[in-house]
Structures are given as structure tokens and as C-alpha cells.
Amino acid sequence: MKDTANMSPAEIRAMIRNNEWIKPTSGMAKGFTQANLAILKKDLAFEFLLFCQRNPKPCPILDVTEPGSPIPRLIAPEADIRTDIPKYRIYRSGELAEEVTDIMKYWEDDMVAFLIGCSFTFEHPLMNNGIPVRHIEENCNVAMYKTNIPCVKAGRFEGPMVVSMRPIPEKDVVRAVQITSRFPAVHGAPIQIGNPARIGIKDINKPDFGDRVTIREGEVPVFWACGATPQAIAMEVKPELMITHAPGHMFIADVLDEQYSVF
Amino acid sequence: MKDTANMSPAEIRAMIRNNEWIKPTSGMAKGFTQANLAILKKDLAFEFLLFCQRNPKPCPILDVTEPGSPIPRLIAPEADIRTDIPKYRIYRSGELAEEVTDIMKYWEDDMVAFLIGCSFTFEHPLMNNGIPVRHIEENCNVAMYKTNIPCVKAGRFEGPMVVSMRPIPEKDVVRAVQITSRFPAVHGAPIQIGNPARIGIKDINKPDFGDRVTIREGEVPVFWACGATPQAIAMEVKPELMITHAPGHMFIADVLDEQYSVF
């Protein structure tokens, strides 16, 4: 079995490109940033970029390719966005049409790929500080909820913010705020501490996306803006064609998580 | 004489709109953010937004208007970008054509206004910490230099980063790094400390833009990415029509400087 945690991002991307890895990327190339993918045609790209610009907490952009170019020059200049993700989803008019392992045949000259930050980037620093990350302990997906917080509209893109929740021991809440504040480029500080009702969450045990996680005695639910927001909102626009990664099947960049910290 | 330091942003913008103030905005509405303006037509707007996205240190975007809308909804939803700046510059094919006090007659349905952060936002926190800001003491413009640091290209937009320089007492350099690190959305931490030659600056006493300031015994020149960069680079593209604020005649937003700090 390959030691994928200690392989380089380039080695892992090569393995993925050759269809030797068609599984989730969690835990691979430890310390390196993983990113969400959203591909749109150029006529929607300006509005989507504007939407992300106006909503930086849920939509932290790590890279945007030049129209027609499949190369994410900023975060992985040797990569090809069309082949280097294990599994893609093709959406037509907002409906899932198929899942594929490369998108060469779907790629068009007016496509723009958005690589969007993911909370993995601040979960490692939390764990390095001895703060538990429940969904990793329970080996499931993070719990995500739709809120009553409206994103700032941009053109056709509008809708509520999606948040992720992590139960944090009460004594560690301040530290968790400090740690994630260091990463404004990847969701940053929490947006709510301890009061799900305040942001329109009716039942903490029924997440809208992902999995329910255990909240133990003495733990506080803490909410961060979530990178699922831009995808959920883009879907509502029902673009003729939109391509994303399949959940958990992320793009692995050449940038270290720590490089996104501001100090 | 009006106490413009203690007037609200809305009061000052009204005064400007009525042509009762056609002077620089330095020191007005103390504590509120002032922004640079760049207006381009939509065909260039996507590339310019991408350029800013890829170069966040020199090009910190505070707001982008919807194409055709003159309202900066994020930072001053009651303002009108066409009238609320004391003096504008009209550039045609990269050449200064005229200076005007409003741009109503130049406004077109496909124009997009970019409001870009300005180092005023972190200069107040520096001074609040007892760190001198020389160009304010000497009542002149900040010293700015072209560097040998290439910005990340986006479409037609490319060129070197412009930096601003502030001489900082050696004992305060670490503190100045800490303070400005709190403001990643407005240039953030310095990009160079004490070695102008390293970034291609031949003569510290000959800035490329702005004014020469005194560097005293025991002071270190510290360099920050500068908001003059996007304008300088946009000019190189020689857009058919580009509108900017006149130097020092800034847009005053409803957002407090402190609200741009990440903690």
C-alpha cells in the first residue's frame, strides 16, 4: 500500500491523472492545501468571480484559470485541472448528469475553473493545537447547514450562506477563534458560536448536507462559513453546463496550508 | 471652518456631491476607510478583477459595482460613485484627457467601478501604536517605487508591483509587521524590510511616484505593496476609456478601518 500521506502533490496528481487513484483525497499529501473545483463558461464567470469577491468567508478563491486554460498557475503550475482530480461531476441545467474521471471531452475554449479553499486547511492547525475535529474522529463528512444569512448578491448569483459545524470543548473555543483567524483566506474565524437558532438552524442533529456528528457534554457547536456555499448557489442559477469535483475528491495544490496563514 | 474630521462619511459625500468640497480627502471622517477608484468597461472588467484576485497584496478590492450600477453596495450603499468623489481623472487610451468633478456624462451602461483599499487604513493603527508615519508628519505624499517583483499576469494585465515606503524606527519594525498583518484585506504585512536593492530600487531618495521623505538615523525603510499598482498596470493596457479618482481625492466609505482587521 502506498504511503499517500507522505507523497508530494505532483506524485499524487500523476497517480490520479493515470486513473490509479479514484477515491477521496482526504489525508493525502499531508500539509498541502486541497481545493474545491467549480468550472463555468465565461459568460457566467465574471458574475461568479464577483460573487466570491463579495462573499470571501464562504467563497475563498485560491486560484482562477485564464479562460480556456486548464492550468492553475498560482497554486499548481504543472497541473491540469481536466485530469488531476479523481472524480468529477457534470451538471446540466443544475442537474447531475454524470460522474467521470476526467473532463477532457467536456472542456471548451471559454471555460474558467475556480479553485476554492476548503476547511481542511484550518482543521490541521486545530488538531496540531490539541483541539478535536469530530468528523475526522468519527470518520464521516463534516455537518453542514443552510442558514438565514443572505450572501451578498452578484448578478444572477444569490442565496443563503452554508456553514459547517464543529463541536469544540468550551475551554478551547477562544483558541479555536484565534487559530482560524490566522487563515482569513480560507474561511477565517467562525461566524457563530453556540447559538444555531440565531442563524436559522432549527435542528442541530439534522444537517442539510454531510453527516450528523456527536456533540459531547461540555462542547459548544461552532459555525464556520463553508465552501459548499458557492456550489450550492451556482446550482440555483442552473447553468447550462457546470463541472465540479465529486464530494471528497479534491484538487491537491502545491501550496502548504501554513502558507495561507497571515502570520 | 467645518470639522471634517468628525463629520460622517454620508455628510462628507453629500458635501462633495454638491461641489462644496473639491480638495483632497486626507483626514476627513476619521476612522472610516478611504478607497481608490478605477472604472473600466465590462469587456476589461473580468480580466481586471482576475488580476486583483491574483495579486491581493497590491490590489485589495473593497467593492466592485454591478455592471452599469454606480452604487457600491458593500461599502456605501447610499453613495453614487459618479458624484461622490471630489475630483476624477478621465483617461483615453492611457493618456490623461481631463479632470472633472463628476462623471455623470461619461457613465455608460457597461461600466464597472472597482474600489480598492488604500494604506490610510493601516496608517491610523500604526500611529495609534506610537509609530511615526513620516509622510503624514512631513505633510506630503507617501514615497512609491516600481520594483522588480512581477505581479501575476491576468489576461492583458501584467507588470511590476509598486510599493510604498515608510521609514520605521528599528525598535518598532516588529510591531509594525504585527499591526499591518492584522489587515490582510488592505495590503497586509510588509513585503520587504531594509533592503531596497533586493526589490530593484536603485535610489531610495528618488521615488517613482509621490514624494521623497526623510529617513532618520536608526530608521529602516519598510516596504508595503501599494494600491497604485493596479492603476499603473491598467494604464499600460491603454483602455479606450478609464476613469480614476484624482490623486488624494478618495472615496470615503461607511466602513470603519478597524472592520478590515482580521482580529
In angstroms, rounded to a whole number, what is the distance separating the alpha carbons of residues B93 and B140? 30
- DSSP code of A174? H
Mean pLDDT for the stretch of residues A201-224? 96
Task: Please give the residue that has the higher pLDDT: either A234 or A64.
Answer: A64
> A104 and chain B: CB distance < 8 Å anywhere?
no
Contact criterion met (CB < 8 Å) for B45 and A46: yes
> Using CB atoms, which residue from A74, A189, A263 is nearest to B152?
A74
**Domains along the sequence of chain A with CATH:** 4-119+231-260 (3.40.1640.10), 122-228 (3.30.2040.10)
**Terminal-residue alpha carbon distance, chain A:** 37
- With residue A50 as reference, give the H or E element that holds it: helix A42-54
Task: State the residue for C-alpha cell 499524487.
Answer: A12
In angstroms, rounded to a whole number, what is the distance separating the alpha carbons of residues B37 and A159? 28
In angstroms, rounded to a whole number, what is the distance separating the alpha carbons of residues B128 and B136? 13
With contact defined as beta carbons under 8 Å apart, do B239 and B93 qualify?
Answer: yes
Contact criterion met (CB < 8 Å) for B61 and A53: yes
How far away is chain B from the Cα of A93, in angstroms, using its nearest Cα? 23
> B40 and chain A: CB distance < 8 Å anywhere?
no
Of B165, B168, B177, B258, the C-alpha closest to B203 is: B165
With contact defined as beta carbons under 8 Å apart, do A111 and A173 qualify?
Answer: no
In angstroms, rounded to a whole number, what is the distance separating the alpha carbons of residues B193 and A42? 40
Model confidence at B241, pLDDT cuts 50, 70, 90, reads very high
Q: Which residues of A touch B152 (CB under 8 A)?
A: 73-74
C-alpha distances (whole Å) from A42 to each of A110, A143, B123 are: 5, 32, 39
- Show the DSSP H helices in A61-140 as ranges: 120-128, 134-137
Residue B179 is predicted with a pLDDT of 94
Crossing angle between the packed helical segments A120-128 and A173-181, to the nearest 10 degrees: 130
> B155 and chain A: CB distance < 8 Å anywhere?
yes
Condensed to tens digits (0 to 9), the pLDDT of residues B41-75 reads 998 999 999 999 999 999 999 999 999 999 999 99
Model confidence at A231, pLDDT cuts 50, 70, 90, reads confident
Contact criterion met (CB < 8 Å) for B152 and A50: no
Per-residue b or e along A98-121, where b marks 16 or more CB atoms closer than 10 Å to that residue's CB: eeebbbeeebeeebbbbbbbbbbb
Contact criterion met (CB < 8 Å) for B178 and A263: yes
Write down the ipTM of this complex: 0.81
3-state secondary structure of A184: coil
A36: phi then psi, degrees, rounded to nearest 5: -80, 150
Query: What is the residue-wise DSSP string for B179-218?
Result: HHHT-TTTT-S-SEES-GGGGT-S-TTS-SBS------TT
Report whether pLDDT(A88) > 90.
yes
**Terminal-residue alpha carbon distance, chain B:** 37
Residue A54 is predicted with a pLDDT of 94
A115 - beta bridge partners?
A37, A63
Report whether pLDDT(B92) > 80.
yes
Q: Which one of A53, A111, A112 makes the best mutation probe of the B interface by having the most chain B beta carbons within 10 Å?
A: A53
Contact criterion met (CB < 8 Å) for A152 and B188: no
Condensed to tens digits (0 to 9), the pLDDT of residues B140-191 reads 889 999 999 999 999 999 999 999 999 999 999 999 999 999 999 899 999 9
3-state secondary structure of B113: strand
Query: How high does pLDDT run on average in chain A?
Result: 94
In angstroms, rounded to a whole number, what is the distance separating the alpha carbons of residues B48 and B179? 29
Residue B96 is predicted with a pLDDT of 92
> B49 and chain A: CB distance < 8 Å anywhere?
yes
With contact defined as beta carbons under 8 Å apart, do B228 and B209 qualify?
Answer: yes
3-state secondary structure of A256: strand
Neighbours of A97 (CB within 10 A): 12
DSSP-based helix, strand, coil % in chain B, nearest 5: 25, 25, 45
Report whether pLDDT(A236) > 90.
no
DSSP-based helix, strand, coil % in chain A, nearest 5: 25, 25, 45
Report whether pLDDT(B1) > 80.
no
Report whether pLDDT(B262) > 90.
no
Model confidence at A124, pLDDT cuts 50, 70, 90, reads confident
Contact criterion met (CB < 8 Å) for A66 and B189: no
Pairing status of strand B32-41 against strand B111-116: antiparallel
Contact criterion met (CB < 8 Å) for B54 and A74: yes
Mean pLDDT for the stretch of residues B121-130? 91
In angstroms, rounded to a whole number, what is the distance separating the alpha carbons of residues A160 and A229? 8
Report whether pLDDT(A185) > 90.
no
Of B119, B137, B162, the C-alpha closest to B248 is: B119
Report whether pLDDT(A93) > 90.
yes
> Which residues, in sequence order, are CB contacts of B71 under 8 Å at separation 6+?
B65, B77, B79, B80, B81
C-alpha distances (whole Å) from A181 to each of A154, A172, B119, B145, B243 are: 26, 14, 21, 32, 36
Per cent of chain B over pLDDT 90 is 86
Residue B120 is predicted with a pLDDT of 85
